[in-house]
């Protein structure tokens, strides 16, 4: 496998995810520094998600027409510039504008990375290769946030943005070096003219809908797990980092195993369906049973481990589309992932107000079941 490219892609995904996630420990500091309210600072995530979704859709289609390499190199470089802009912003308005820009810059290359990776490996390696690239995003929770919190004590939230910008610039250089030597788009290879209509067939739309449901299940727990621990067991901020690290390690291990299964077993969508159904059952236990802090953290590990197994199988299925529309499809996958994240935040907030955390288990299980039904009822060819 092209390990240098996979490492470069993982670093770029780590930088993209860190551009927003590492903001979490500094919400109070940012609100104080920028003379604004905490809810306004927290809502920067939503603004970033919208621009990320739009850019992912446009960049995916553009990479099919003009080549993937410009997006893979210029996207992380532009992200580095936007993060420098955040670090130097004089007020909340400029932080908002630069944050929207970081989402757009991230969307420029995150979907394209998956299209490029899948085009450079054999079909029997796609699950593992895509899983390794996705692990960069998972490492943000395990390493990015704790390291950012530690560094922030010395250099502040502005300095942390500069550090993430340096990572993004480094990934741009590595992408420049690892994507040389062959055409990086179907157009460059002389194939058909791509179009959104030809890319979004019914099987692809079904896969994208499955992706939305999977991201909702994932986001419901990722977004609210720390709050669940704090409200249920009165866990303090000073001790919640260890449970979150254990939780994140389950995501990484599940992604790696999911990639292996997607390449070794014959039917990828069956893997997806089983992973979603079992993770839905785990969610019922996670939010319906509170044995102890250690027991809940263990259940959280099991849940996110099972959920993560599903993602590489889904991505490998999406990679089966014709090469000349692969960038478009992967771009739409980025857009649908953002929709899933926003759906998780909205549904989670609604459920908290309606029934509290006790409703999270049935809600997650219901969405996971819908995803499994979509996978099993009518399977796309060669997925």
Q: How far apart are CA 284 and CA 288, in angstroms?
A: 6
- The reported pTM is 0.79
- Check: CB of residue 144 under 8 Å from CB of residue 17: yes
Domain ranges within the chain, ordered by starting residue = 3-178, 196-377
pLDDT for res 196: 63
Query: Which whole number is the average pLDDT over 177-196?
Result: 60
Q: pLDDT by residue (tens digit) across 190-230?
A: 455 555 666 778 888 999 999 999 999 998 887 788 778 87
Same fold, 3-178 and 196-377: yes
CA distance 283 to 304: 9
- pLDDT at 182 (0 to 100): 60
What tens digit of pLDDT does each residue of 338-378 get? 888 888 878 888 888 888 889 999 999 999 999 999 999 86
**pLDDT number for residue 190:** 46
Helix spans in the chain (H): 3-21, 27-33, 38-42, 44-66, 69-88, 92-119, 126-139, 145-178, 196-199, 202-233, 241-264, 268-288, 293-318, 326-354, 360-377
Percent of the chain with pLDDT over 90: 44
- Eight-class DSSP state of 356: -
Average pLDDT over residues 81-88: 96
- Superfamily of the domain at 196-377: MFS general substrate transporter like domains (1.20.1250.20)
What pLDDT is stored for residue 43 in this prediction?
74
* 321-338 confidence digits (pLDDT tens): 887 788 888 888 888 988
DSSP state of 144: I
Whether residue 187 has pLDDT greater than 60: no
Q: Using one digit for the tens of pLDDT, what is the confidence trace for 86-136?
A: 999 999 999 999 999 999 999 999 989 988 998 888 878 888 888 889 888
pLDDT at 193: 57
Greater model confidence, 229 or 165: 165
pLDDT at 380: 44
Class (C level, CATH) for 3-178: mainly alpha
**360-377 helix and 202-233 helix, angle to the nearest 10 degrees:** 160
Residue % of the chain over a pLDDT of 70: 92
Contact 83, 168 (CB under 8 A): yes
Confidence of residue 186 (pLDDT cuts 50, 70, 90): very low
pLDDT tens readout for residues 2-14: 889 999 999 999 9
Q: Which of 36-50, 157-171, 199-213 has the highest mean pLDDT?
A: 157-171
What is the pLDDT of the chain when averaged over all its residues?
A: 86
């Amino acid at each position: 496998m092209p390990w240098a490219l996979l490492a470069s892609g993982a670093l770029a995904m780590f930088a993209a995810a860190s551009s927003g996630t590492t903001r979490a420990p500094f919400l109070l500091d940012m609100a104080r520094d920028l003379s604004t309210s905490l809810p306004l600072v927290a809502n920067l995530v939503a603004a970033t998600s919208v621009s990320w979704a739009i850019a992912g859709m446009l960049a995916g289609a553009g990479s099919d027409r003009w080549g993937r390499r410009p997006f893979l190199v210029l996207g992380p470089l532009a992200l580095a510039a936007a993060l420098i802009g955040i670090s130097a912003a004089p007020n909340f308005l400029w932080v908002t504008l630069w944050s929207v820009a970081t989402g757009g810059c991230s969307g420029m290359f995150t979907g394209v990375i998956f299209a490029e990776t899948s085009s450079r490996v054999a079909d029997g390696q796609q699950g593992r290769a895509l899983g390794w690239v996705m692990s960069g995003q998972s490492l943000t929770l395990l390493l990015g946030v704790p390291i950012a919190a530690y560094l922030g004590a010395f250099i502040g939230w502005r300095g942390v943005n500069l550090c993430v910008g340096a990572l993004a610039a480094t990934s741009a250089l590595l992408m420049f070096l690892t994507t040389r030597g062959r055409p990086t788009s179907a157009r460059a290879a002389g194939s058909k003219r791509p179009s959104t209509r030809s890319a979004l067939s019914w099987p692809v739309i079904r896969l994208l809908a499955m992706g939305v449901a999977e991201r909702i299940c994932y986001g419901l727990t990722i977004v609210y797990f720390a709050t669940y621990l704090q409200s249920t067991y009165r866990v303090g901020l000073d001790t919640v980092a260890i449970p979150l690290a254990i939780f994140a390690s389950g995501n990484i291990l599940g992604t790696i195993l999911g990639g292996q299964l997607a390449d070794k077993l014959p039917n990828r969508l069956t893997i997806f369906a089983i992973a979603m159904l079992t993770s839905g059952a785990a969610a019922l236990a996670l939010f319906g049973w509170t044995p102890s802090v250690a027991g809940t953290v263990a259940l959280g590990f099991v849940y996110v481990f099972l959920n993560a197994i599903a993602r590489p199988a889904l991505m490998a299925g999406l990679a089966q589309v014709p090469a000349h529309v692969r960038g478009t499809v992967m771009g739409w996958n980025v857009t649908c992932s953002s929709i899933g994240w926003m759906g998780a935040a909205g549904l989670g907030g609604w459920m908290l107000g309606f029934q509290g955390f006790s409703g999270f288990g049935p809600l997650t299980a219901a969405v996971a079941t819908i995803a499994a039904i979509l996978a099993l009822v009518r399977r796309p060819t060669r997925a």
